[in-house]
Structure 1
Amino acid sequence: MSDQVRELHKAAAAGADGPKKREILEGARQVFRAEGFDGASMDKIARAAGVSKGTLYVYFRNKEELFTEMVSVDRREAAEQLCNFDDDSGDVTAMLQQVGENFIAMMIRPEHIALIRMVMGAAEKFPEAGQLFFEMGPRCGIGRLSAYLEKQVAAGRLAIDEDIELAAAHFLNLCQGNLVKPLLFNAGGAPDRQQIERTIASAVRMFLKSYGTAARQA
């Protein structure tokens, strides 16, 4: 993580998470969705949040800092959802199914899809926002899953003789299947529970064919 991204992260985390701040963030989210990063302004955000421009500047110095906080809040909530699993569970198949379903439930949320679009739109002119999203999102998820996989390798339940982070990335990419991209491009509706479970079950089977100890012994 670059020093600039680290400083933005610190700035985003600073201050009390009170109701006024949440109102400002919700107003900012509405403006960024409607106008994009370039079209958003502190004036528009203040109006949408129902606060004075002076109050807005008490909490945030500029729209870059506000955008960073919005990304950080979303990423923290997503991390809590994705990382809520039992490291010590010996049932790898069931645990991977749970991890995959939690991951997709987070990925297909309308507000998360909207955030991905906003970050991608902002990343060219405000690359630090893209870097922050990546560090707190994909890289954090891969790291968390890698730690679980490493424990399962040590316990003899998995046989991963290559980069464990790469194996974790393989699994999360398999889980997405054809569930996420249609939403990103507004080319389809949200998948139902049955589609998600079927896609994740397929991802688990494919992953275990490559890294499961039973497959290696066959």
Structure 2
Amino acid sequence: MNKPEPAPIPAPAPPGPKCKEILDGARRVFRAEGFDGASMDKIARAAGVSKGTLYVYFRNKEELFKELVALDRSEAAEQIFLGEDDEAEIGDLLQTLGEKFLTMMVAPSHVSLIRMVIGAAEKCPEAGRAFFEMGPCFGIDRVAAYLERQAARGRLDLNDDPKLAAAHFLNLCHGEVAKRLLFGFGDQPSKEQIEATVASAVRVFLCAYGTKAQQRA
């Protein structure tokens, strides 16, 4: 019996206008100054609010940072693996899935978010944990459920470990493209570079997890 696909992560409640101003200002400060360099004074100035108003919404910098990370991550996480056409060829399905994933990973806003979270993880581990659960963990669970559906149709052989197969696929799609950008090395990849990186990932993945007929093709 197939496992149901994980439900989308409930996004944080949409912020009201004033809270959104605060979060937008905080985002600019955290990205420019890092977690240690940011202060509630700087965030209040960037958001155009008084420090007293800021504390009405958030008790401290850690709470504000965690809310910002959860909000930014949830916007992408629940959409990235939706809408695939199960009737297409498995290679085409994986190509589409991988391109969506890699395109999200190399988006400047996402690269900035990862840098911001990594830089703050030691001082604000709850934000790091929230990001990991909403991002990598959720992505692996969703892809694993998707691959299980394909295995049930005889299209893949997952060796009874769909989560491992999902992790392999997503890591293959990363290639070195996303890592280069994370370290500030290299230009933004073109659509053609993303397609080629994912095509290589799909070939390797099907060599490991495709049916014997696919592996002989």
Paired-residue identity, %: 64
Structure 1, gaps ≥5 residues long: 1-8
2:136 to 135, 138, 145: 138
Match of 2:214 in 1: 215
What is the DSSP-based 3-state SS (H/G/I as helix, E as strand, rest coil) of the residue aligned with 2:78? Answer: helix
Q: What amino acid maps onto 1:144 in structure 2?
A: R
**C-alpha contact (below 8 Å) 1:87/1:148 kept by paired residues:** no
What is the DSSP-based 3-state SS (H/G/I as helix, E as strand, rest coil) of the residue aligned with 2:53? Answer: helix
Alpha-carbon separation, structure 1, partners of 2:15 and 2:123: 28
Alpha-carbon separation, structure 2, partners of 1:114 and 1:162: 36
1:99 to 97, 100, 106: 97
Superposed CA offset, 1:104-141 (max 9, x none): 11111111111111111111121111111110000100
Alpha-carbon separation, structure 1, partners of 2:110 and 2:165: 24
Q: CA RMSD in A?
A: 2.0
Match of 2:71 in 1: 73
Match of 1:177 in 2: 175
What is the DSSP-based 3-state SS (H/G/I as helix, E as strand, rest coil) of the residue aligned with 1:101? Answer: helix
Structure 2, gaps ≥5 residues long: 1-8
What is the DSSP-based 3-state SS (H/G/I as helix, E as strand, rest coil) of the residue aligned with 1:13? Answer: coil
What is the DSSP-based 3-state SS (H/G/I as helix, E as strand, rest coil) of the residue aligned with 1:137? Answer: helix
When normalised by structure 1's length, the TM-score is: 0.88
For the pair 1:197 / 2:195, whether they are aligned, the reply is: yes
Pair 89,79 (structure 1): closer, same or farther in 2 beyond 3 Å: farther
1:188 to 186, 189, 212: 186
Superposed CA offset, 1:15-51 (max 9, x none): x522222211111011111211112111110100111
Match of 2:12 in 1: 13
For the pair 1:39 / 2:37, whether they are aligned, the reply is: yes
Alpha-carbon separation, structure 2, partners of 1:178 and 1:146: 23
Higher mean displacement: 163-172 or 83-92: 83-92
Q: What amino acid maps onto 1:153 in structure 2?
A: A
Match of 1:163 in 2: 161
Higher mean displacement: 23-32 or 56-65: 56-65
Higher mean displacement: 165-174 or 121-130: 121-130
When normalised by structure 2's length, the TM-score is: 0.89
Q: CA deviation at 1:80?
A: 3.2
Match of 2:3 in 1: none
How many residues align structurally?
208
Pair 202,80 (structure 1): closer, same or farther in 2 beyond 3 Å: same
Alpha-carbon separation, structure 2, partners of 1:175 and 1:184: 15
Q: CA deviation at 1:216?
A: 5.4
Q: CA deviation at 1:211?
A: 0.9
Alpha-carbon separation, structure 1, partners of 2:74 and 2:176: 25
